[in-house]
């Protein structure tokens, strides 16, 4: 599994912890919402950085008040066709101002690359069949966007009317 | 009509290149069919019973003569010489090959067309009143807002993988010719007490196996807020719509389960937080789009004002056609012409390449080069001089396009059924052909008057049977086809879901049953009373009695 962050393939410096697994002191861990709720103080006392993984059934509001204590939020695509994480990503970025790493995990396919990037994801755990080159190509296939989103790219309407 | 600028053109061209690469990866085996499926669906390519079917978007049902000629060219070059106009104002080509799809899309892009989001669980092509811009009592041309919605919804990064497909329809007139109340969102242009223009927003209509009429969640939305309000609705749906059961995944189920008041509160709360987030319909952009829909250069001087009346008197066939096909235009001396794609015994909505070229030529000659598609699978030439109607009629008649049955019982909506569709369980086209043959006598059709008959070949209801004055659902029971009849449905501003009249009919009895229903109406109608009005006055009992002898 390859990790792409800021358009580069990188070594993953985070550990995805199962709910029962112990957290090594000083490590960077991604835990489920349930574990984070249960063990928030304990984690804060031992690990270096905390990330929370949300499923589609979780609500962004559940972590909104604690975002400044989180360095990473992972949003899950249980199947590429489950699009809830796109809305959750935009809410985290645009409504709650989350500035940490926003990571796409699960069924992350090449042809969804630009949708994810536009919604504010900046890190992607690519499936085994996805090549880095293909991923980067997919990010730049469509240069025009019609709607404002988390990436704050200029929309066609803004480019048409520069005074806006 | 709308013309692409460099941004629109660039997006569509890049999309063609992207899909070309995706097809190349599929053909090389780099992509499995399972991985390729969502990609081809987002470009309108379905794998049907016999071949790939390509559904091409006709934005809000308006196209130019040149675009129609390109559709004819595609039908000739890549299909079997014809295409099928759909209830969603699109066109489908039923016999395309996967390896040709990128070239077809490139041909479409060359005339500013595409197949983006004509399938998949995404925001589909927005549909509109086919009389947009020419209806006398219209508030504004709805296509201006449809184009704004087209752009906003195209490749929307947040709403490409919704729980289920999503359809929006817009009308600018009080008379609803776009069936907006059976759409996921229906938008009707309204004026408030101060004369400001906005929208009544209706949500959660639909057909399929759970037919519902849309409910109003906002009586008046100032027009500049249109896109932010739509975004709020879509976000509430994307996060809250069911994903565990595709038959309960449409927004109508969410609205129903949550309750319309709670749903409205959720949308309003979301909207309050995003209404200032850069989605305002800016005046400059709105004016830019609106300029494309300015009325054509009508000729105020009436030419040969007497010629039309003389022809009507002289030629009964012509007069009969005008009765069915010609509607009042807002401009003196002009007419709106609906061209029937329902010839006797034909397949509803089909047109050959030759017919498409014919329509394009006639549109160029008589209607400022513009054509519309209706959700009833007919075509509209919206700006024809009355004095040209006779020549237009002769031109249409030469190509089998002058059937005088628009709005009558022969003007049947039917889905493709098992003749093409991979979902259908039965054949819907043969029964449409039998009914149209039984009522082939146009004088009889005119005597019966307005009657909307709609046929679906399966529970997905693509033939709109729920909103037919007479609806027929063909069901398969142990290998035999049965025909379930509903009465009293309507798709207009008083939209209603039809009710099943009784037990289903066998194949050899269904056409007779339709005739029994029609005959009862003829016997019981009052002066000038349409079928639907008579049914609403009489109720189902007399029809039941006539059909089943239980009255």
Nearest CA in chain B to A57: B239
Nearest CA in chain B to A58: B239
- Separation CA A102–CA A123 (nearest Å): 6
Q: From chain A, pick out residues whose CB is under 8 angstroms from the CB of B232.
A: none
Task: Give per-residue pLDDT as tens, A77-115.
Answer: 999 999 999 999 999 999 999 999 999 999 999 989 999
In a domain, B121, yes or no: no
CA B307 to chain centre: 34
Asked if B278 reaches chain A (Cβ–Cβ under 8 Å), the answer is yes
How many residue pairs bridge chain A and chain B with CB atoms within 8 Å of each other?
104
Sheet holding B168-171, edge to edge: B127-128, B168-171, B185-191, B197-203, B215-222
Interface test with B, best of A147, A151, A158 (most B CBs within 10 A): A147
Position A93 scores a pLDDT of 98
What's the longest Cα–Cα distance across chain B?
Answer: 68
Position B333 scores a pLDDT of 92
Domain extent for B477: 413-548
**Summary mean pLDDT of chain A:** 94
Note whether B72 and B95 are same-domain residues: yes
Q: Please name the helix (run of DSSP H) or strand (run of DSSP E) that holds residue B94, with its range, or none.
A: strand B91-96
Least confident of A61-65, B108-112, B341-345: B341-345
Query: What is the signed CA dihedral for B225, B228, B233, B235, rounded to 10 degrees?
Result: -170
Residue entry with tokens 């849309």: B214
Note whether B322 and B435 are same-domain residues: no
In a domain, B115, yes or no: no
In a domain, B484, yes or no: yes
Q: Please name the helix (run of DSSP H) or strand (run of DSSP E) that holds residue B476, with its range, or none.
A: strand B470-477
- Separation CA B74–CA B93 (nearest Å): 9
3-state secondary structure B271-327: HHHHCCCCCCCCHHHHHHHHHCCCCCCCCCCCCCHHHHHHHHHHCHHHHHHHHHHEE
Final residue in a domain of this structure, among B110, B145, B164: B110
- Separation CA A61–CA B171 (nearest Å): 37
- Separation CA A153–CA A134 (nearest Å): 22
- Separation CA A29–CA A52 (nearest Å): 8
Position A164 scores a pLDDT of 57
Residue entry with tokens 């029964």: B431
Task: Give per-residue pLDDT as tens, B85-120.
Answer: 998 899 999 999 999 999 999 999 999 999 999 999
Q: Are A77 and B243 within 8 A, CB to CB?
A: no
Position B314 scores a pLDDT of 95
ipTM for the whole complex: 0.97
Position B125 scores a pLDDT of 96
In a domain, B37, yes or no: yes
In a domain, B518, yes or no: yes
Q: Please name the helix (run of DSSP H) or strand (run of DSSP E) that holds residue A87, with its range, or none.
A: helix A84-90
**Summary mean pLDDT of chain B:** 94
**Cα distances (angstroms) measured from residue B191 to each of B138, B141, B173, B221, B286:** 11, 13, 11, 10, 18
In a domain, B85, yes or no: yes
As a whole-number percent, the residues of chain A with pLDDT over 70 amount to: 99
From the number of C-beta atoms within 10 Å of its C-beta (0-12, 13-18, 19+), residue A53 rates as: buried
Q: How far is B190 from chain A (nearest CA, A)?
A: 25
DSSP letter, residue B211: -
Final residue in a domain of this structure, among B335, B366, B397: B397
B277 pLDDT band (50/70/90 cuts)? confident
Note whether B282 and B320 are same-domain residues: no
At A53, is the secondary structure helix, strand, or coil?
strand
Q: From chain B, pick out residues whose CB is under 8 angstroms from the CB of A76.
A: none
Note whether B358 and B437 are same-domain residues: no
Backbone angles phi, psi at B421, to 5 degrees: -80, 140
The closest of B423, B417, B419, B455 to B436, measured between CA atoms, is B455
Q: From chain B, pick out residues whose CB is under 8 angstroms from the CB of A112.
A: 160-161
CATH of the domain at B74: 3.90.480.20
pLDDT beyond 60 at B296: yes
Number of structural domains in chain B: 4
Task: Give per-residue pLDDT as tens, A119-141.
Answer: 999 999 998 878 899 999 999 99
Structural domains of chain A sorted by starting position, each given as residue range(s) with its CATH number in brackets: 2-160 (3.20.20.70)
As a whole-number percent, the residues of chain B with pLDDT over 90 amount to: 86
- What pairs with residue B500 in β-bridges? B486
Note whether B357 and B448 are same-domain residues: no
Task: Give per-residue pLDDT as tens, B127-158.
Answer: 999 999 999 899 999 999 999 999 999 999 99
Q: Do A83 and B235 touch (CB under 8 A)?
A: no
Q: From chain B, pick out residues whose CB is under 8 angstroms from the CB of A146.
A: 11, 151-152, 154-156
- Separation CA B362–CA B396 (nearest Å): 8
B504 pLDDT band (50/70/90 cuts)? very high
In a domain, B403, yes or no: no
DSSP letter, residue B213: -
Note whether B166 and B269 are same-domain residues: yes
Position B428 scores a pLDDT of 80
Q: Please name the helix (run of DSSP H) or strand (run of DSSP E) that holds residue B222, with its range, or none.
A: strand B215-222
Note whether B287 and B138 are same-domain residues: yes
Asked if B535 reaches chain A (Cβ–Cβ under 8 Å), the answer is no
pTM: 0.96
First to last CA, chain B: 54
Joined together, the tokens standing for residue B303 give 């030419």
Backbone angles phi, psi at A16, to 5 degrees: -85, 115
Position B304 scores a pLDDT of 72
At B148, is the secondary structure helix, strand, or coil?
helix
Least confident of A65-79, B2-16, B221-235, B342-356: B342-356
pLDDT beyond 50 at B320: yes
Position B551 scores a pLDDT of 47
Position B550 scores a pLDDT of 65
Note whether B137 and B281 are same-domain residues: yes
In a domain, B61, yes or no: yes
Note whether B353 and B430 are same-domain residues: no
Rg (alpha carbons) of chain A, rounded to whole number: 17
Final residue in a domain of this structure, among B367, B397, B427: B397
Interface subset of A 52-111, CB within 8 angstroms of B: 56, 80-84, 86-88, 90, 94-95, 109, 111
Q: Do A86 and B152 touch (CB under 8 A)?
A: no
State mean pLDDT over B396-416: 94
Note whether B332 and B354 are same-domain residues: yes
Joined together, the tokens standing for residue A47 give 């690990």
Note whether B265 and B347 are same-domain residues: no
The closest of B100, B110, B56, B61 to B78, measured between CA atoms, is B100
- Separation CA A61–CA A73 (nearest Å): 13
Q: Are A106 and A78 within 8 A, CB to CB?
A: yes
Least confident of B231-235, B276-280, B361-365: B276-280
Note whether B159 and B282 are same-domain residues: yes
CB atoms near residue B131 (< 10 Å): 26
């Amino acid at each position: 599994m390859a990790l792409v962050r800021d358009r580069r393939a990188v070594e993953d410096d985070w550990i995805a912890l199962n709910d029962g697994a112990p957290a090594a002191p000083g490590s960077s861990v991604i835990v489920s919402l349930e574990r984070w709720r249960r063990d928030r103080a304990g984690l804060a006392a031992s690990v270096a950085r905390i990330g929370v993984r949300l499923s589609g059934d979780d609500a962004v509001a559940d972590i909104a008040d604690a975002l400044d204590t989180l360095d990473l939020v992972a949003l899950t695509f249980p199947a590429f066709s489950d699009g809830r994480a796109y809305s959750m990503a935009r809410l985290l970025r645009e409504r709650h101002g989350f500035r940490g790493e926003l990571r796409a995990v699960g069924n992350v396919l090449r042809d969804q690359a630009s949708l994810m990037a536009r919604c504010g994801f900046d890190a992607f755990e690519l499936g085994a069949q996805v090549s880095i080159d293909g991923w980067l190509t997919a990010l730049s296939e469509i240069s025009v966007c019609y709607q404002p989103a988390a990436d704050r790219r200029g929309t066609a309407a803004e480019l048409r009317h520069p005074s806006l | 009509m709308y013309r692409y600028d460099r941004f629109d053109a660039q997006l569509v061209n890049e999309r063609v290149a992207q899909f070309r690469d995706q097809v190349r990866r599929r053909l090389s085996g780099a992509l499995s069919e399972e991985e390729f499926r969502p990609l081809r669906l987002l470009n309108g390519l379905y794998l049907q019973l016999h071949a790939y079917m390509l559904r091409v978007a006709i934005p809000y049902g308006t196209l130019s003569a040149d675009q129609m000629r390109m559709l004819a060219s595609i039908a000739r070059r890549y299909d079997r010489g014809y295409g099928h106009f759909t209830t969603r104002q699109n066109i489908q080509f039923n016999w395309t090959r996967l390896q040709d799809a990128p070239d077809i899309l490139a041909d479409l892009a060359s005339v500013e067309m595409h197949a983006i989001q004509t399938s998949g669980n995404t925001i589909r092509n927005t549909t509109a009143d086919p009389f947009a811009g020419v209806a006398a009592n219209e508030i504004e041309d709805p296509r201006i807002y449809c184009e704004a919605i087209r752009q906003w919804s195209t490749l929307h990064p947040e709403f490409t993988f919704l729980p289920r497909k999503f359809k929006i329809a817009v009308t600018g007139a009080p008379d609803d010719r776009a069936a907006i109340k059976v759409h996921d969102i229906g938008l009707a242009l309204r004026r408030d007490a101060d004369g400001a223009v906005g929208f009544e927003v209706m949500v959660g209509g639909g057909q399929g196996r759970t037919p519902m009429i849309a409910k109003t969640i906002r009586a008046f939305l100032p027009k500049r807020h249109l896109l932010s309000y739509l975004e709020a609705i879509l976000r509430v749906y994307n996060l809250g719509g069911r994903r565990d059961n595709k038959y309960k995944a449409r927004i109508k189920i969410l609205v129903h389960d949550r309750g319309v008041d709670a749903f409205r509160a959720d949308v309003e709360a979301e909207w309050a937080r995003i209404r200032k987030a850069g989605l305002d319909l800016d005046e400059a952009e709105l004016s830019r789009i609106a300029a494309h829909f300015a009325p054509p250069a009508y000729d105020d001087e009436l030419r040969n004002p007497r010629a039309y009346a003389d022809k009507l008197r002289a030629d009964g066939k012509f007069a009969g056609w005008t009765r069915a096909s010609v509607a009042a235009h807002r401009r003196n001396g002009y007419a709106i012409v609906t061209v029937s794609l329902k010839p006797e015994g034909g397949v509803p909505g089909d047109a050959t390449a030759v017919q498409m070229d014919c329509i394009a030529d006639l549109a160029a000659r008589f209607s400022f080069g513009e054509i519309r598609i209706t959700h009833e699978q007919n075509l509209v030439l919206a700006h024809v001089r009355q004095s040209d109607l006779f020549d237009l009629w002769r031109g249409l008649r030469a190509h089998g396009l002058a059937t005088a049955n628009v709005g009558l019982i022969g003007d049947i909506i039917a889905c493709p059924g098992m003749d093409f569709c991979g979902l259908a369980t039965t054949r819907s086209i043969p029964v449409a052909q039998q009914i149209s043959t039984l009522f082939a006598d146009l004088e009889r059709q005119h005597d019966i008057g307005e009657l909307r008959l709609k046929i679906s070949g399966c529970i997905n209801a693509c033939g709109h049977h729920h909103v037919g004055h007479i609806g027929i659902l063909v069901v398969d029971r142990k290998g035999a086809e049965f025909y379930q009849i509903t009465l009293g449905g309507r798709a207009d501003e008083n939209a209603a879901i039809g009710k099943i009249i009784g037990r289903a009919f066998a194949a050899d009895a269904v056409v007779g049953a339709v005739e029994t229903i029609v005959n009862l109406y003829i016997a019981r109608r009052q002066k000038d009373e349409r079928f639907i009005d008579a049914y609403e006055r009489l109720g189902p009992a007399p029809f039941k009695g006539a059909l089943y002898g239980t009255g």
